[in-house]
Structure 1
């Protein structure tokens, strides 16, 4: 029998904080032969490092678990159930949205179709909140401005990312709403409409507070975002609306689950959204767009894309924005965003860089781009500043956060999972 030769270790990445396993353990975890494991390494899907004093390698367990989840997803939704709370099946009942083999659906309506038909975020929010898609376009009234943007701006560093600004503003808006506690569902929907309008207008508060009031006077959330960021492209509101709709909900991701847990405690809507924004601020959730923006800076020019991608893969480093565990065949939200970004003329250098990175990853046989790539491409195409892609995600997803808060309150139970104790055994009394 010919013994398979282990692949060359990728020793140039920092593995100090990674849990490593042997080749035998790695193959067993994936349920494959060692030769298949080595193929995954050569394709850059699994990283490995040399084990000191031996000729063998150790494999990054997080990469293996991510790859196994994606493979399990191909076998059907039921196969993922064993990984509940780790990209697994929903742990609570919800009728808000569903991710399945047919893609993403909001209350039974395909999200991509809603976006491509030009349905507004307001229409989609009403669908998520009530279960009924409005027959006529919805228009939400412009809310009052309880805070002076200039005063808030004085409290924030001018270079504060938009999501950081929203984290500061939402609790302040809540403090001015004295009747926010134990509100009936209809009042919460009114409050949700007002809050989404505020989120879109306040994204610029740190560096351009004078735009907040003007943005609030716009007719739609997307138009408010365009004014807040000073987007001059004629199609900016239309393109931003498409992104908002595609980001409106996505089952029980981390920020949504945080909102539901907070809602189950009886906290007010602002507190629930603040909890969701706190979860979104983590690099494992909302940080993908920031890493893609950093990749754009690293590549710089379209002709350098292949070199940078191949060097990252050779060093065992990841290329952000590719491969979604719930979409083994590709994230359906991404093509509509890239289509809109690539259609703008003249095409900015940053868009051409992203296109080149996407092509390099596709040629190397890696998974398709995620929605984060689409959001960054759209922001770059519109000439928006760094950090805006993550903010578009946050504003759009706030529609889903409100929907899940309403649903959690209707269900009425407290979300309090039990822990499975794995510590030191308890000594029985003598």
Structure 2
């Protein structure tokens, strides 16, 4: 991945449905309502009171509104609460990730190309700040890293990597007296130190950190060789630090590139369940460590971050048996969905999987697992037209490199920390405690008699 490609927003996800004079974007009534956090009827009430100006655009249906005027009214009224969409789901305004049927964007830039060309740290900085910082590296404070390592190491041997990450976050928070500084600079400082502390708290597989292929030890500090810039001396990338926590074999440059790209691709994906949990925590003005803890709690569910483990086990069995057909048949016979297939937000193949599959082509030892993954897709297509998702691509990497089944979940958790921080920074600018839905009570009708001892 190169670091010399300028970033420019893709024109396809531009703001506004129509363009008015001088290219100023105009919004539909529904878009204006969502931006203001009100119902469409309230938008017309604003028009009748002279607070908004509407006009019809030739060839379009309904009224349109100047986006700048809508934003100005939003600032004056302070109405920024999420409102239900037409499907009944909450809708948040966010400037981080846009998902379309066949691709997704980080701050207007094609996320797949960004992760293909730039390191995870550069992708994280882009998500946080909208600025590119070539060659950026993160470093943990010594006391934070030491506390995270001690706490994670104190857990039972059978503890999962997510268990250790949750413990490490809590320990790192306890060492940071500035954790309640929710200013952008304060949050960014926390994020840049927390990510390497999380990785550093994970134990090295086999008890030691093996050397990178080519002779450079991955824990050699600032003199380490980073495959991303042709082997020139740099400080260590997060991908190179994470590798020995996932695999006992040395990291060849092509495999390390796949891992780094996976981290960048998974950094954010709009309002996934764990990100919603993180935003709820941030709405209480919880500090960034608590926000990440909330995200980790939701991520561990088998239908979210842990989904890659099921794909790993299926693919590992298919490679071992030398035939995917009976493995797929076993899943369908048992009434289980075939893991690693389908995504409700994409009509075709998950663009994250597309990038990883292409990079895995350059990893010779991945050939059997990659062939098995493609056979799974082809075999299942006879039953139902599902496409590969990122869990299947992560499984190819983990199976090919002899990683444990939970490796994909670990990659997911470390990577998505950047997205949770970005969403926390957005939520800190909103009205506090706005994410308070009302329950629809379905219990016994009151008043009920007091319970008695029996």
With normalisation by structure 1, the TM-score equals: 0.72
User: What is the alpha-carbon distance in structure 2 between the residues aligned to residue 215 and residue 236 of structure 1?
Assistant: 19
> 2:364 and 2:348 mapped to 1: Cα distance?
30
Q: Distance in 1 between matches of 2:301 and 2:221?
A: 28
Aligned Cα RMSD in Å?
Answer: 2.8
TM-superposed CA distance for 1:207, in Å, is 6.5
Contact 2:341 2:386 (8 Å CA) reproduced: yes
The answer (yes or no) to whether the contact 2:148–2:169 under 8 Å persists in 1 is: no
**Compared CA separation, residues 170 and 110, structure 1 to 2 (3 A):** same
Residue-by-residue CA offset, 1:168-205 (whole Å, 9 max, x unaligned): 11101111112211332101101101111222232326
1:394 to 413, 423, 442: 413
Q: Deviations over 1:218-239 (max 9, x none)?
A: 5221121124345432323321
Aligned equivalent of 1:261: 280
Counterpart check, 1:93 vs 2:113: no
- Give the aligned partner of residue 201 of structure 2: 202
Question: What corresponds to 1:144 in structure 2?
Answer: 142
User: Structure 1 residues 187, 248: CA separation in 2 closer, same or farther (over 3 Å shift)?
Assistant: same
| Kept after mapping to 1: 8 A contact 2:147/2:168 | no
CA contact (8 A) 2:127 2:422 kept: yes
SS across alignment from 1:333? helix
- 350 and 108 in structure 1: CA distance in 2 versus 1, 3 angstrom threshold: same
* Match 2:431 to one of 401, 412, 425: 412
Unmatched segments (≥5 aa) in structure 2 = 1-83, 211-217, 223-234, 449-454
Which segment is superposed worse, 164-173 or 356-365?
A: 356-365
Contact 1:149 1:210 in 2 (8 A): no
Pick one of 215, 222, 242 that aligns with 1:225.
242
Contact 2:366 2:401 in 1 (8 A): no
Residues 56-71 of structure 1: pairs in structure 2 closer than 5 A: none
Match of 2:219 in 1: 214
1:336 to 334, 350, 355: 355
Instruction: Report whether the alignment pairs 1:156 with 2:180.
Output: no
State the distance in 2 between where 1:203 and 1:84 align: 40
CA distance in 2, matches of 1:307, 1:254: 33
8 Å contact from structure 1 (residues 244, 396) kept in 2: yes
Distance across 1 between alignment mates of 2:423 and 2:365: 40
Pick 1 or 2: higher relative contact order, CA cutoff 8 A, min separation 6: 1
**CA distance 1:291–1:209, change in 2 (3 Å):** same
Q: Offset at 1:210?
A: 7.0
Alignment of 1:25-424 (within 5 A): 81-85=85-89, 90-116=90-116, 118-134=117-133, 136-141=134-139, 143-146=141-144, 147=146, 151-152=150-151, 154-204=153-203, 208=207, 214=219, 218-229=235-246, 230=248, 231-301=250-320, 303-347=322-366, 349-414=368-433, 415-424=435-444
Q: Structure 1 residues 91 and 226 mapped into 2: Cα distance closer, same or farther (>3 Å)?
A: same
Q: Distance in 2 between matches of 1:215 and 1:410?
A: 40
C-alpha displacement of 1:132? 2.7
Aligned mates of 1:347, 1:315 — CA distance in 2: 29
SS where residue 322 of structure 2 aligns?
helix
Task: Give the direction of change, closer, same or farther, for the CA distance of 1:416–1:253 in structure 2 (3 Å limit).
Answer: same
User: Shift in Å at residue 163 of structure 1?
Assistant: 1.8
Q: 1:215 to 1:337 in 2, by over 3 A?
A: farther
Structure 1 residues 234 and 145: CA distance shift in structure 2, 3 A: farther
Label 1:237 to 1:312 Cα distance change in 2 as closer, same or farther (>3 A).
closer
String of CA shifts for 1:48-87, please: whole Å, max 9, x gaps: xxxxxxxxxxxxxxxxxxxxxxxxxxxxxxxx944444xx
Alpha-carbon separation, structure 1, partners of 2:347 and 2:307: 18
How far 1:363 moved relative to its partner?
A: 4.2
In the other structure, the counterpart of 1:19 is none
> Secondary structure of 1:324's partner?
coil
**1:241-280 CA deviation, whole Å, 9 max, x = no partner?**
1001110101111111111101111211111101100111
CA distance in 1, matches of 2:440, 2:379: 44
User: 2-side partners of 1:381 and 1:363: how far apart?
Assistant: 26
Q: TM-score, normalised by structure 2?
A: 0.69
**Cα separation, partners in 2 of 1:401 and 1:225, compared to 1, 3 Å:** same
Uncovered stretches (5+) of structure 1, i.e. residues with no partner: 1-79
SS of the residue corresponding to residue 98 of structure 2 reads strand
State how far apart, in whole Å, the 2-side matches of 1:266 and 1:215 are.
Answer: 38
Q: 2: CA distance between counterparts of 1:254 and 1:398? A: 13
What secondary structure is seen at the aligned counterpart in 1 of 2:355? Answer: helix
Q: CA deviation at 1:111?
A: 0.7
3-state SS of paired residue (1:115): helix
- 2:342–2:387 contact (8 Å) kept in structure 1: yes
Q: How many residues were matched structurally? A: 343
